[in-house]
């Protein structure tokens, strides 16, 4: 039986990856320190005898006694709310955490896949964004801690590939949604659904003309799985190119939730991208991958998940205050 280590296992994407590898009959080692992940996300995984969990911060030295065949590095705050509150941890998990897991992959002769992001393109000047685009990023802006952590992550990963001949994969993830998203993480989809379920007006930042492209989580996981077992070592965009303006998306959520809320407008945060749409030709050509779940279907499944949350979870405005994590920086 092959063994895979998934960092960020208690997060949205990490928990789905663990479930997929268990389904494929892998021994799965999940690792998380719950800074943004949730124990609830992995409760169902613990019932599987092939799942092992380690509570650990990958920014610190990682020691695994088992043989490892694959490592997937998905540990990182991924919400602007999180990485504005824990900027140093965000930088550390993208730099020190990546370095630790690359060293582990080298020691174990394992394949490593790292989770990068469309945020490496910043506020793009080309549309749609392909993998050859260098990006338009402000390294010292409020969002820079996440963008630059991921850009460094890509740089050191490729350095290990070129210098140590390590088998590396890099996935650039575009906006993804689905069950086990955090309702209070500040991103537009859970924010809109949460506001609708609580009877609040939907908040748009800016004039709503900015665009996003939303990929359902099952499609994303399939793309990542295909990339891991491919022969390609450089960045690949995985996302759904079906683009929509935030204003139109708000109307879709109002229709989906059958709510009567108004839309209110607030100033656009600094360096918030105005456009986001993946060029997925590379994924089509080398992986044979295309997204299959349309937005209407995916939103229904996601809405059903959010409707299943308790009243306490629905009204929880903040994941945590991060005080204990900021104490020793």
The catalytic site residues sit at 146
CB contact at 8 A, 153 and 95: yes
Write down the residue that tokens 């990856």 correspond to.
Answer: 17
Please name which of 15, 12, 16, 7 lies closest in space to residue 59, comparing C-alpha atoms: 7
CA dist 192 and 58 (Å) reads: 32
> Would you give the distance in Å from CA 329 to the centre of its chain?
25
Radius of gyration in angstroms for the set of CA atoms belonging to the chain, rounded to a whole number: 19
Both structure tokens of 297: 């279907």
Q: 263 in helix, strand or coil? A: strand
Write down the residue that tokens 């802006």 correspond to.
Answer: 141
Q: 94-99: which pairs have CB atoms within 8 A and are 24 or more residues apart?
A: 94/146, 94/148, 94/149, 94/150, 94/152, 94/153, 95/149, 95/152, 95/153, 95/156, 96/59, 96/60, 97/7, 97/57, 97/58, 97/59, 97/73, 98/73, 98/152, 98/153, 98/156, 98/157, 99/156
Number of residues written out for the chain: 329
Phi/psi of residue 122, nearest 5 degrees: 60, -140
Residues 6+ apart with CB under 8 A from 166: 102, 105, 106, 112, 160
């Amino acid at each position: 039986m092959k063994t895979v280590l998934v960092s960020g296992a208690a997060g949205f994407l990490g928990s789905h990856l663990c479930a997929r590898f268990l389904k494929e009959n892998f021994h799965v080692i999940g690792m998380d320190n719950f800074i943004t992940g949730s124990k609830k996300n992995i409760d169902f995984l613990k019932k599987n005898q092939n799942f092992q969990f380690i509570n650990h911060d990958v920014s610190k030295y990682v020691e695994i006694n088992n043989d490892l065949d694959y490592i997937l590095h998905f540990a990182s705050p991924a919400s602007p709310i999180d990485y504005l509150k824990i900027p140093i941890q965000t930088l550390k998990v993208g730099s020190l955490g990546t370095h630790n897991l690359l060293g582990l992959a080298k020691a174990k002769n394992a394949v490593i896949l790292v989770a990068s992001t469309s945020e490496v393109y910043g506020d793009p000047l080309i549309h749609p964004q392909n993998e050859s685009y260098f990006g338009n990023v402000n390294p010292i802006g409020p969002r820079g801690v996440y963008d630059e952590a991921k850009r460094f992550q890509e740089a050191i990963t490729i350095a290990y590939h070129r210098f140590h001949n390590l088998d590396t994969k890099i996935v650039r993830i575009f906006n993804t949604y689905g069950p086990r998203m955090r309702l209070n993480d500040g991103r537009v989809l859970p924010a809109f659904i949460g506001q609708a379920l609580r009877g609040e007006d939907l908040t748009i930042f800016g004039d709503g003309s900015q665009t996003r492209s939303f990929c359902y989580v099952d499609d994303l996981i399939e793309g990542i799985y295909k990339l891991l077992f491919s022969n390609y070592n450089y960045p690949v965009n995985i996302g759904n190119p079906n683009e929509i303006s935030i204003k139109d998306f708000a109307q879709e959520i109002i229709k989906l939730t059958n709510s009567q809320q108004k839309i209110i407008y607030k100033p656009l945060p600094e360096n918030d991208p105005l456009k986001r749409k993946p060029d997925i030709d590379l994924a089509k050509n080398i992986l044979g991958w295309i997204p299959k779940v349309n937005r209407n279907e995916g939103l229904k499944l996601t809405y059903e998940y959010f409707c299943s949350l308790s009243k306490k979870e629905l009204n929880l405005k903040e994941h945590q205050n991060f005080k204990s994590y900021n104490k020793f920086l």
